[in-house]
Amino acid sequence: MSDKKPNTNRGKTTAKNTSKKLASGKVTKPLRPASAAKSGQTDSKSSDTRKAKLFGRLKKNEDQGAYTSVKNRKKMVFNKATGASSRGGFEYDKNRFRTVWGMALVVLALLIGRAYYIQVANAQFYQDKGNELITSVRTQKSYRGMITDRNNLPLAVSAPLATVSFSPHDYSREYYELKRIKITNPNSPQLQARMQKRLDNMDLTRLAAAANIPVSELKKVTAVDDSIDVTDEAAVKAALPSGAGSHYLPLLNKVTPEIAQGVSSLDFPGVYEKNFFQRYYPQPQPNSQLLGFMGQNANDPEGGYEGRAGIERQFEEDLAGDDGKVLVLKDAKQNSLKEIKQVEPEIPGKDVALTIDSRLQYLLYKELEKVGRLQQARWSTGMVVDVQTGEVLALSTWPSFNSNNLNEMTGENQRNRALLDVFEPGSVMKPFTVAAALDSGKYTSTTLIDTNPGSIRVRGYTIRDHNNLGTINLATLLQKSSNVASTKIALSLPADAITNMQKQFGFGSKTPLKFPAEGSGLVVTPEEKETSRRATISYGYGMEATVAQVAQAYSALAAGGVMHPLTLVKSDKVQPSKRIMAHEQAMSIVQMLESVTEEGGTAKAAAIDGYRVAGKTGTSRRINPKGGYYTDQYRNVFAGMAPASNPRLVGVILVEDPRGLHYAGLTAAPVFHNVMKEALRLYNVPLDKPLKTEAQ
């Protein structure tokens, strides 16, 4: 028969296969229902059952996340999903990819920013920090300039010196460290050999021989203990030297660099050398107050020295120069290994040439010392000036001190008395009273003054001469040093006439020397009614002056009324001069002053054979701090010039409170004689007076 039964197995096979696919969990598209005409009634029912199971399973899987639509997948980024397939979606992987790379870019940006901050924005700071660990800047002391006299002979020089020290602590630490390296490296024979060689070089006998000290002393301070366990850090630390002298033991102190080289060249562990300059004064006592001295600068971290007085202080900037700076490489122990480069150049100090003649300076000091000791004076001082230039040729004070040993210095012997101390000059001011008289037109060199009876009453005070001189001229006034004649001149002139002339000659103001702490003196112009003050000022009381001011004023007289500013430093520049008095008047006063050193004068001891000498003595009482004047204490001054016919040199000598002789003609005048006699010879000044013969 052609009629065939429907193939029911086919449908079963399809369903079976379909069931297997569903079981695998891989569903790619919805299933279509089978045709009712082909499957029949039974197949239709069976198909509905399978469809129900299939769609139920799909719904369950969808609820569990096994299959989601694109719409639902977008929500998965924010909603927690379940199921294995939730980790493999494209949208989810893309967001995770962006998150990871975003974080990586942020970290990279932070790293780049940090690198920029360290290497660009703040590079110098970290470079400096790094350099501090391996380098240091060492000050290179500049050479201090010399101070020389007018003939270029050194008065102050800086000598290079060195101090070599030994650190027992550093030596022992190095010794134990080398032994530790040797013991802990048994498999490195080359390293052990190097360590042993360095240990052999640490033999203290070598150092003792070079430094000329007992080796037993070095062994005692190092206290090396070969029995300790060098691998035990605590034991080594306990064995290292400690206490006073454990880090510093002087081997050579202030020696020349050549001597120090003998020890420092050993390259011995714990040996250190410090180089510096020390000031040295070849002629200390004659020049100590003038040159001054060096003292430690409290503001210098390197402990440098600076001028503290005198020329050293006045010309500190020129003499000192500028220190240099050197960058040095250092090791872990802060020891300098080598110089890397010059950071700042060293600029040596300039030399300062003084107008002082060291030969005359020495002679002046010895004479001041002689009179000071002989007369048991408190002190003595003096200076010599070149009339034609104003240059100070000699300036010294006794007692003095050795400026190479400041332990000898006291508050008294360090004072430059000629420039710092002010005093009532007394009768050495009378030539300027005569100058005021001549300048007024009321007086001439032949004008007579009545001094009878040898005294005069002014405002209840009696002013006396030593003797009744009677009627005298101006030359006799100076020769006999008449207080009465000086008083009559002052009272006959306007109240300010005498003081104006004194100021014109430089009294009452500092000299152009500009010496540190120089005194300015005091000149007070009296009122018209202050007759007693007008009188006392005429013979040098009631005012204050310095030796330098007296020397400057007498130099102006000697130069014919021309003021040449005093100077202590040689210079190519010519200092401007000023005429303060007519030449004829000035020279007439010089001629009057000649009589002071001649027969009948108060300073015969100042006369020099072969030369005409002009000058004036001044013997004044010392002021009593309790009021008034001492009756047994005097101040002796002599100011003079030679040769009087054409003055070349001026000298001023002061002896304070001589206990032997009380008059300037007997104390200060002989010092002037001895100093000026040699000075005229040194400068080959021609004679202007016949030499005395033995017959005479």
Active site residues: 427
DSSP, residue by residue, 38-78: HHHHHHHHHHHHHHHHHHHHHHHHHHHTSS--HHHHHHTTT
User: Phi/psi zone of residue 457: left (φ > 0), alpha (ψ -120 to 50 degrees), beta?
Assistant: beta
* Closest C-alpha to 162, from 258, 279, 254: 254
**Cα angle 287-290-292, degrees, rounded to a multiple of 5:** 95
Q: Which two tokens stand for residue 568?
A: 């202590």
**Cα angle 455-461-467, degrees, rounded to a multiple of 5:** 20
What is the C-alpha separation between 275 and 258, in angstroms, rounded?
A: 11
Helix (H, G, I), strand (E, B) or coil at 369: helix
Q: Which two tokens stand for residue 274?
A: 């410090």
What are the residues whose beta carbons fall under 8 Å from the beta carbon of 654, sequence distance 6 or more?
A: 380, 381, 382, 417, 418, 423, 547, 635, 636, 637, 668
Q: Which two tokens stand for residue 472?
A: 């005298």
What is the C-alpha separation between 466 and 691, in angstroms, rounded?
A: 33
Strand 562-563 relative to strand 455-458: parallel, antiparallel, unpaired?
unpaired
What is the C-alpha separation between 315 and 391, in angstroms, rounded?
A: 18
Q: Which residues pair with 471 in a beta bridge?
A: 450
Q: Is the peptide bond before 658 cis (omega within 30 degrees of 0)?
A: no
Largest CA distance in the chain: 201
What is the C-alpha separation between 394 and 396, in angstroms, rounded?
A: 7
What angle, 0 to 180 degrees and rounded to 10, lies between the N-to-C axes of helices 215-222 and 168-183? 70
Q: Which residues pair with 563 in a beta bridge?
A: 578
Q: Report whether 569 contacts 355 (CB < 8 A).
A: yes
* Closest C-alpha to 669, from 589, 580, 597, 590: 597
CA atoms within 13 A on the CB side of 156: 37
What is the C-alpha separation between 467 and 678, in angstroms, rounded?
A: 35
Q: Which two tokens stand for residue 120?
A: 């660009």
